[in-house]
Amino acid sequence: MEASKVIHAIYTDDDVLMSAVKKVKAEKHHIEEIYTPFPVHGLDKAMGLAPTRLAITSFLYGCLGLAVAITMMNFIMIEDWPQNIGGKPSFSFLENLPAFVPIMFEMTVFFAAHLMVITFYLRSRMWPFKNAENPDPRTTDDHFLMEIPVHNNEAALQELLQETGAVEINIVEKDAH
Amino acid sequence: MYTFSNKLKTFSIALIIIGLLGVGYGFMTSHKSFEEVETILAEEASHHGGHGEEAAHGEHAAETAHQDGAHEVVDAHKEHVEHVQHQMANRPWAALYVGAFFFFMIALGVLAFYAIQWASQAGWSPVLFRVMEAITAYVLPGGLIVLAIALASGTIGHYNLFIWMNPDVVAHDKLIQGKAGWLNIGMFALRGLIFIAGWALYRHFSRKFSLAQDNAEDDKNFKKSFRWAAAFLVFYIYSESMMSWDWIMSVDPHWFSTLFGWYVFASMFVSGITVIALITMYLKSKGLMEFVNDSHLHDLAKFMFAISIFWTYLWFSQFMLIWYSNIPEEVTYFITRINDYKLPFFGMLALNFIFPLLILMNSDYKRIPWFIVMAGVVILFGHYLDVFNMIMPATVGDRWFIGVPEIGAILLFAGLFMLVTFTALSKAPLLAKRNPFIKESENFHY
C-alpha cells in the first residue's frame, strides 16, 4: 500500500523532534522515515526500529576469516610443501601454531571489518553515483524532517503535527523512485 | 551504610581457620627424610615402568659426567633424591606464596583501577568508589604478608622460594653473582617496603579525601584526590614493574623478560576489576546499592572482557617471541612449563581468554548478573592458575599438585581478604556524597 501522498513535518530541534516522534507513535501513525543532520540519541528506540544485526554478521565474518587463515596456512606450510625453514617444526599445524597466530588474528579482523562494512553499504543501499534521497537539502544542515504517509487523513495529521511544534508542514506527491 | 553480617564474618573466619589447618598440614607433611624420598621415587619408578627414574638419572649422569667418573652413578642418585626432597619441602611455601600474592594482587589491581578513575575523571564509576576503597584496604596487610613470606622463606626456611637467597647456590653460580647487586635480601626487603609504603600511602590519603569530600563545602578534597591519583599512577607503574621482577621473576633468577611487569599488571588488573564486579553484584543483590544499574555492570564487564584480551595479548607476545627465537637461556622457562605443567599452562589460556571472549562478547550478556558471575569466577580461577604457573615450576618443578596446601592457602587468604574488605565496607556509606561526578554516575546509562 504505497501511499502516493506524504506529509513532511520539519523541526529545528532534536528534543522537539523526539517528543514529536513519541506523540505521533502514541497516536498510532506510521512514520515512514526521519531525516536528521546528525545521529539523534535514542531516536531508533522512540521510533520502535528493530535493533541492528550488523554485529552478528561481523562475528560470523570473523569466524570465516579465521577459517580461511587456518585452511590456507595449513595447506601451504604443512601439507603442500613442509620445508624446514630456520628449524621451525612444520610437522603439524599445532606445532607451528604460534608463528601462524599473527596472520590468523589479522585475517579475522580483516574479514570481520571489511565484510561488515560491505554488508552495511548493501543493506543501507549506499554506493558511488547513487542518487541522493534527500527530500529537503536543509536536513543535512540544521533541520529535521519527519515523513508520514497520508491515507485520507490530511487534516487530522496536519493538526497533530502542528501541535508537536513543527516549523513547517508540507504535503508532497511522492514520485516513484 | 553496610553492616558486616555476623554470618559472613563467621564464614570468613571459618575460611581462615580451615585454611590455616590446610597450610599447617602442608608444612607438617612436606619435610621428608632422604630415605622417604628415595622410597617414593622407587615406587613411582615401578609404577611408570622405570622410565622416569632412568631418564632423570641419565640427565644427571650427563651433567656430572665430567666430574668424578667412579662415583658418577651414586652421586647422581644422591643429587636427584636431594633435588626432589628440596622440591617437596618447597611446596607448602610456594602454595602459601601463590595464595598470598593472588589476593594481594587483586587489591593492588583495584587500587590502580581506582586511581585511573580519579585521574581520568570518569563519570560512570563514582558510585563504585566505596567498593573499590574497601577492596584496596587489603593492599597494606596483603603486601606485608607477601613480603614476609618471601623473606621468611630465605631466613626461617631453607631458601624455599628464591634460590638467589641461598649463599651456597650463589657461590657456585656466576649468573646470580652478576645480579647480586640487585638480588640480595637487604635490598629486596628495602625495595619491598618502599613499594608497599607508596601504595599504602596513596590508599590512605585517597580514602581520607574521599570520606572528607562527603561532608565538605567545596571541591578541595576532590582536587587533592585528582593530584594524588595522577602522582600515584606514575609511582605505581614503576613500582609494580620492579615488584614483579622482585617478587615473581626472581624465582627464576636465570631468566628474564622485558614485558614481564606489564604481563603481571594485566593479570592483577583484570582480577581486580572482576572482584569489583562480584562484590558490587553481591551488595546489589542485598538491596544495598540501588544506585548501581545494569549499565555500570555492563561497563565493568566490558573492562573484564577487554583486559582479558589484553592479558592474552601480553601472554602471547611473551610466549611467541621466546618460542620463535628459541634462545636456550630464555626458552627453558617455557620448556619446563610445557613439559611439566601442560594442563595448567594451556588450561589458563582457555579460562582467561577463550571463555571470557565467547561469554562476554555479546552486549546483552554483559548486563546479566549471573553471566558476569560465571565469567568472573572462571577469570579469577584462571588468574590464580597464572600466578601458580609463574611460581610453581621454579620452586616445586614437576612435584606440583593442587591439593591441601594450595587450597588451604586459597581459603586462608580468601577469608582474610573478605574480612578486611567487608570490615572496610562497613566503615563508610556505600554512596560517596558530593563527588562532582556522582550525579552523572547515578544517572549513567549506556
Interface predicted TM-score (ipTM): 0.90
Written in H, E and C, the secondary structure of B266-312 is: HHHHHHHHHHHHHHHHHHHHCCCCCCCCHHHHHHHHHHHHHHHHHHH
Mean pLDDT of each 10-residue bin along chain B, 446 residues long: 90 96 93 87 77 47 50 82 91 96 97 97 94 96 96 90 93 94 95 97 96 92 95 97 96 94 96 97 93 94 96 96 93 95 95 95 93 96 97 93 95 97 94 91 90
Residue of B nearest to A97 (CA): B320
In this complex, do B324 and A59 lie within 8 Å of one another by their Cβ atoms? Answer: no
In this complex, do A55 and B324 lie within 8 Å of one another by their Cβ atoms? Answer: no
Answer yes or no: is B436 within a domain. no
Place of cell 612449563: B337
Answer yes or no: is B39 within a domain. no
Dist. CA B425–CA B196, nearest whole Å: 22
CA distance to partner chain A, nearest, from residue B195 (Å): 36
Answer yes or no: is B301 within a domain. yes
- Phi, then psi, of B428 in degrees rounded to 5: -145, 155
Q: What is the mean pLDDT of residues A30-51?
A: 93
Model pLDDT, residue B52? 47
The residues, any chain, with a CB within 8 Å of residue B275's CB and separated by 6 or more, are B106, B110, B135, B376, B380
Percent of chain A surpassing pLDDT 90? 77
CA distance to partner chain A, nearest, from residue B126 (Å): 24
Domain extents for chain A? 3-51+135-175, 54-123
| pLDDT tens per residue across span A121-175 | 999 999 999 999 889 999 999 999 999 998 888 888 888 998 888 899 998 887 6
Give the three cell numbers for residue B125. 564509576
Answer yes or no: is B62 within a domain. no
In this complex, do A98 and B361 lie within 8 Å of one another by their Cβ atoms? Answer: no
Give the count of beta carbons closer than 10 Å to the beta carbon of residue A129.
4
Model pLDDT, residue B33? 87
Structural domain tally of chain B? 1
Domain that holds residue B180: 6-32+87-430
Dist. CA A79–CA A103, nearest whole Å: 18
Answer yes or no: is B43 within a domain. no
CATH code linked to domain A3-51+135-175: 3.30.70.1150
In this complex, do A98 and B326 lie within 8 Å of one another by their Cβ atoms? Answer: no
Model pLDDT, residue B61? 46
Beta partners for residue A144, in sequence order? A11
Q: What is the mean pLDDT of residues A90-101?
A: 95
Nearest to B324 among A55, A59, A98 (CB): A98
pTM of the model: 0.91
Q: What angle do CA A44, B124, B106 make, to 5 degrees?
A: 130
Residue of B nearest to A59 (CA): B361
Beta partners for residue A170, in sequence order? A8
Nearest to A98 among B319, B361, B363 (CB): B319
